[in-house]
Amino acid sequence: MAPDGPDPRRRGSLTERYPGLDVLVDEPPNAQTAARSNLATPITPRDEHFVRVHHRTPEIDADEWTVSLAGLVEDEAELSMEELRCAFPTESVVHTMECSGNGRTYFEPDAEGDQWSFGAVGNAVWTGTPMSAVLDEYGGATDDGLWLSAMGGEAPPDKDVFCRSIPLAKVREDCLLAYEMNGAPMAPEHGYPVRLVVPGWFGNNSVKWVEEIRVMDGMVEGEAWTDRDGQDYTQYQQSSYRIVPDQDEQPDRHRSVDTVSTYDQMTEDEGVRNAYLFDQLVKSLLTTPEDGATLSGPRIELSGVAWSGEDAVERVEVSTDGGESWDEATFVGPDLGRYALDRFRYVWEPEPGEHTLCSRATDERGRTQPATVSDPEDELRGIENDEFPWNVKGYGNNAYRPLGVTVEVEA
Amino acid sequence: MAPDGPDPRRRGSLTERYPGLDVLVDEPPNAQTAARSNLATPITPRDEHFVRVHHRTPEIDADEWTVSLAGLVEDEAELSMEELRCAFPTESVVHTMECSGNGRTYFEPDAEGDQWSFGAVGNAVWTGTPMSAVLDEYGGATDDGLWLSAMGGEAPPDKDVFCRSIPLAKVREDCLLAYEMNGAPMAPEHGYPVRLVVPGWFGNNSVKWVEEIRVMDGMVEGEAWTDRDGQDYTQYQQSSYRIVPDQDEQPDRHRSVDTVSTYDQMTEDEGVRNAYLFDQLVKSLLTTPEDGATLSGPRIELSGVAWSGEDAVERVEVSTDGGESWDEATFVGPDLGRYALDRFRYVWEPEPGEHTLCSRATDERGRTQPATVSDPEDELRGIENDEFPWNVKGYGNNAYRPLGVTVEVEA
């Protein structure tokens, strides 16, 4: 028996239910954090956490819902929510989840899709059953190079099914079948009653309303998956959520890739041409002051947040001249773990006038944020020369410009 | 310059401003968390964190506010908020703050004061300037046995001033002059613009609206403090916030005490007779299910939270028969540090019928929750024979009975 979930009959517009969000599209619901300062909260409240839905938010009776476990397992299974909750251990992870389309609005010319600015990111505590425990219980295969595909209950019969393939090694390391967000049942828009949470990876990997999980010897690819019971399961794995320069046709489809680091896929010479959006890129954002603020005083405190997917953020620098010069910021606790954002602050002694402020984070592997997004004609597919590659769907933008803020300091 | 604070002109009843709280008294504002499940949130949102005000909530212009540093320091000082924020390092701590009156309503007969049940406790991230940095900057004395008294800006001219004396060793170890709660300026009711946060100690020690901090060779005591400029600064240190059995007169006033552990003061034979409310006691609470719930299913997950002031919680046990028998619960992360509450869960396989559920935490020193509150006639002053001492003001109740819940399990 699960505790009472959110009332699926609960109605009202997205704006009414999520007063802290700016709504981009009402149906399907897509909304981002409205204020930079909301992201300064160490744990993003559920109603300030971005919402991104492709088709619709399903209405699910958790008492009836099951998750099918299939594929390379000794015993297939249908797991009820009661079983997931009570027959396995419970774990929590603090995960800064970013939508891969976050920052798309800073592309010039516009990229396809909803024009997210900075707010499609949130830092929540996800609680649920470790995938490794479920796989162990049912004799899941453990060979190197296997994948697990998770399929969500979102798609109406005539639509592409939301399905993502995750390397089994990652799944076994830290993924959860989560049923709580910040200590309470998650809202329908966040995946109620159960969501695969893939810590440190772009939000698209954290499949909502999980219906089926299948251990496989590759990603969803090929005819069996492009037309499975009349629906396409490969769209969100093989076509969407890839870094595709303007000049490319449809990206090549792969059964497997050697690296799951999005950054490495974008920068290595060999391997897959169009990176899959897996591990998040290093990024940061000033949360105070707000853009357009008028400030005064001999010293002004700037503060912000930084994250880097699976990796630790090692350093954050702040520029008060639009990126010409940089100075190091200091971190402020608490330490919420390696998948959680870090907060930083910087004390600025400004001259009067107009200033453009931005921040730049560098992760423990020395990877840093580029300055801008490239011109589409450059046909970049990786991060080069301080530029993030313009791509057709506007994914992965971690450039610090023009993500910063412009403020006026009074004399 | 500090970021914009809460609008001091913001009006509306306490209920409107704190929709997650149950209001005990509207003026002065006193309100506790309304639902057990609110406490399951890893970080208590600001508007679900209890509010306890003695006289009134002052309206403060942060740009004009200063904190006086005085007493045994080389240089006295008047610190502006800009100075506190920008001239010193910034630190954060996750602190489970409990009002010492929490649980008072379970006293029989009633104790004096507002009848808090379980909700005068919250777990927030407090951010500010380490007191040690301020003291070092102005040459604060460091001798053993000194105290620091913090005075709040709450009292109208004819009222007792809220002043608390904290041992300097504790102050230098981990206390903050906090200006943010959960990454944003705190609400007026929580101490805006600046609050002394004493991690792990009962809320009364975390003086709000701090006006003066003074390094002294003892606690506030004696004529200079009972009548300082016509006001009494000793009331909340020497008379209130003491464990006083029904048979005692006014407790003896002390310049100093050897132990700051509330528990140790309550249990040691020598020393102070009426314990001062400093370090919090070990305590736990079921957050799910709610009291009175009707449940069904072969397995039911119970969950809750536990905390123990400065000490780590080592074990939580759950009873489903009102305290007759106990079984160990498991902890669920994330680990938010030693001053933060821990979440636990327990899977129960119930028989149909009515059941009384409760939890009992034990800290790393082996101290545990007693079963009940004693009869006033027993004149207990410590925790003995599984009983917490009934005391005149109803402080410190950490008994697990009748803090539990009664539920009905359907066949």
| HEC profile of chain B | CCCCCCCCCCCCCHHHHCCCEEEEECCCCEEEECCHHHHHCCCCCHHHCCEECCCCCCCCCCCCCEEEEEECECCCEEEEHHHHHHCCCCEEEEEEEECCCCCHHHCCCCCCCCCCCCCCEEEEEEEEEEHHHHHHHCCECCCCCCEEEEEECCCCCCCCCCEEEEEHHHHHHHCEEEEEECCEECCHHHCCCCEEECCCECHHHCCCCEEEEEEECCCCCCHHHHCECCECCCHHHHHCCECCCCCCCCCCCCCCCCCCCHHHHHHCCCCCCCCECCECCCEEEEEECCCCCEECCCCEEEEEEEECCCCCEEEEEEECCCCCCCEECEEECCCCCCCCCEEEEEEECCCCEEEEEEEEEEECCCCECCCEECCHHHCCCCCECCEECCCCCCCCCCCCCCCCEEEEECC
A 302-331 residues with CB < 8 A to B? 330
CA distance B81 to B153: 15
The residue that leads in pLDDT, A154 or A42, is A42
Residues of B whose CB is below 8 A from A1: 295-297, 299-301
Candidates A91, A332, A334; nearest CB to B94: A334
Q: B284-316, pLDDT tens digit by residue?
A: 999 999 999 999 999 999 999 999 999 999 999
Res. A361: pLDDT tops 70: yes
Find the CB nearest A90 among B45, B332, B334: B332
User: Any chain A CB within 8 A of the CB of B82?
Assistant: yes
> Does residue A80 have a pLDDT over 80?
yes
Instruction: Give the mean model confidence (pLDDT) for residues B171-177.
Output: 98
Note if the bond before B28 is cis, omega within 30 degrees: yes
Task: List, as ranges, residues 254-293 from A with C-beta within 8 Å of B.
Answer: 287-289
State pLDDT tens for residues B356-411.
999 999 999 999 999 999 999 998 888 989 999 999 999 999 999 999 999 999 98
Locate tokens 């802290």: which residue? Answer: A20
pLDDT tens for A303-340 read: 999 999 999 999 999 999 999 999 999 999 899 999 99
User: Mean pLDDT throughout B59-70?
Assistant: 96
CA separation, residue A375 to residues A106, A108, A113, A246, A388 (Å): 12, 7, 18, 10, 9
**Mutation choice for B interface testing from A36, A39, A41 by most B CBs within 10 A:** A41
How high is the pLDDT of residue B11?
58
Q: Which of A260-274, A288-302, B210-224 has the lowest mean pLDDT?
A: A260-274
Q: Select from A1, A91, A300 the Cβ nearest to the Cβ of B300.
A: A1
Residue B115 to residue A398: CA distance in whole angstroms = 52
- For A313, the token pair is 């953020």
Which of B135, B132, B161, B140 shows the shortest CA–CA distance to B220?
B161
User: Nearest Cβ partner of A40 from B86, B184, B289?
Assistant: B184
Q: Is the dihedral of CA A311, A313, A315, A321 positive or negative?
A: positive
Give the per-residue pLDDT at A2: 40
Please give the share of chain A, as a percent, with pLDDT higher than 70. Answer: 97
pLDDT at site B14 = 85
Instruction: For residue A127, give both structure tokens.
Output: 């609680």
| Mean pLDDT in residue range A246-268 | 90
A95, β-bridge pairs: A124
The answer to whether residue A332 neighbours chain B at the CB level (below 8 Å) is yes
Burial of B195 (0-12, 13-18, 19+ CB in 10 A): buried
Does the CB of B80 have a partner CB in chain A at under 8 Å? no
Contact B1 A297 (CB under 8 A): yes
pLDDT of residue A10: 56
Contact call for residues B307 and B359 (beta carbons, < 8 A): no
Mean predicted confidence (pLDDT) in A89-96: 97
Whole-angstrom distance, CA of residue A39 vs CA of residue A110: 25
What is the average pLDDT across B230-256? 92
Which of A182, A337, A345 is opposite residue B90, by nearest beta carbon? A345
The arithmetic mean of pLDDT across residues B162-169, rounded, is 97
Task: State the nearest Cα–Cα gap between A82 and chain B, in angstroms.
Answer: 7
Using CB atoms, which residue from B182, B296, B345 is nearest to A41? Answer: B182
Mean pLDDT confidence for A380-407: 94
Kindly determine whether residue B1 and residue A82, on different chains, have CB atoms separated by under 8 Å. Answer: no
Average pLDDT value for residue range A126-149: 97
Give the Cβ contact number of residue B82 at 10 Å.
Answer: 17
HSE-CB for A26 with a 13 A CA cutoff: 7
A85 shares contact with chain B (CB less than 8 Å): yes
Model confidence at B8, pLDDT cuts 50, 70, 90, reads very low
User: SS3 sequence, chain A?
Assistant: CCCCCCCCCCCCCHHHHCCCEEEEECCCCEEEECCHHHHHCCCCCHHHCCEECCCCCCCCCCCCCEEEEEECECCCEEEEHHHHHHCCCCEEEEEEEECCCCCHHHCCCCCCCCCCCCCCEEEEEEEEEEHHHHHHHCCECCCCCCEEEEEECCCCCCCCCCEEEEEHHHHHHHCEEEEEECCEECCHHHCCCCEEECCCECHHHCCCCEEEEEEECCCCCCHHHHCECCECCCHHHHHCCECCCCCCCCCCCCCCCCCCCHHHHHHCCCCCCCCECCECCCEEEEEECCCCCEECCCCEEEEEEEECCCCCEEEEEEECCCCCCCEECEEECCCCCCCCCEEEEEEECCCCEEEEEEEEEEECCCCECCCEECCHHHCCCCCECCEECCCCCCCCCCCCCCCCEEEEECC
pLDDT digits over A200-211, tens only?
Answer: 999 999 999 999
Would you state the torsion angle of the CA atoms of residues B121, B122, B128, B133, taken in this order, to the nearest 10 degrees? 50
Q: Which of B1, B299, B333 sits opposite A86 (nearest CB)?
A: B299
Task: State the burial class of residue A120 (Cβ atoms within 10 Å of its Cβ: 0-12, 13-18, 19+).
Answer: buried
The domains of chain B, with CATH numbers, are: 283-409 (2.60.40.650)
B367, B309 in Cβ contact below 8 A? no
Contacts of A343 in chain B (CB under 8 A): 92, 183
Distance from CA of B215 to the nearest CA of A (A): 27
What is the pLDDT confidence band of residue B1, given thresholds at 50, 70 and 90? very low
C-alpha torsion A202→A206→A208→A214, nearest 10 = 140
Chain B residue numbers with beta carbons less than 8 Å from the beta carbon of A62 are none
Distance, CA of B162 to CA of B154 (rounded, Å): 7
- Pairing between β-strand B283-288 and β-strand B163-167 as defined by DSSP bridges: unpaired
Nearest Cα neighbor of A396 from A46, A121, A33 is A121
Closest residue of B to A297, CA-based?
Answer: B1
**C-beta atoms of B182 and A42 within 8 A:** yes
CB spacing of B183 vs A343 below 8 angstroms = yes
Instruction: Enumerate the residues of chain A whose CB falls inside 8 A of the CB of residue B288.
Output: 3
**Does the pLDDT of residue A226 top 50, yes or no?**
yes
User: Which chain B residue has the Cα nearest residue A409?
Assistant: B1
- Average pLDDT in the B91-109 region? 97
What the block records as the tokens of B345 is: 């869960």
Give the closest-approach CA distance of A400 to chain B in angstroms: 22
Instruction: With beta carbons under 8 A apart, name residues in chain A contacting B85.
Output: 301
User: B358: closest CA among B142, B106, B178, B150?
Assistant: B106
Interface test with A, best of B93, B332, B347, B405 (most A CBs within 10 A): B332
Q: Is the pLDDT of residue A364 over 50?
A: yes
Residue of B nearest to A300 (CA): B1
Q: Is-cis flag, bond preceding A289, omega within 30? A: yes
Contact status of B125 with chain A (Cβ, < 8 Å):
yes
Residue A127: list chain B partners with CB under 8 A: 332
A261/chain B closest Cα distance in angstroms: 25
ipTM field: 0.93
**Measured between beta carbons, which residues in chain B are less than 8 angstroms from residue A410?**
none
Whole-number Å distance between alpha carbons of B318 and B321: 9
Q: Do B82 and A288 touch (CB under 8 A)?
A: no
Instruction: Using alpha carbons, select from A371, A395, A372, A375 the residue that is nearest to residue A109.
Output: A375
pLDDT at B20: 86
Of B1, B41, B301, the CB nearest to A295: B1
The confidence score (pLDDT) of residue B10 equals 56
CB within 8 Å: B89 and A330:
yes
Please report which confidence band the pLDDT of residue B54 belongs to, taking 50, 70 and 90 as the band edges.
very high
Give the pLDDT of residue B80.
Answer: 97
What are the tens digits of pLDDT across the range A400-409? Answer: 999 999 999 9
A316 contact residues in B (CB cutoff 8 A): none
Q: What is the pLDDT of residue B9?
A: 40
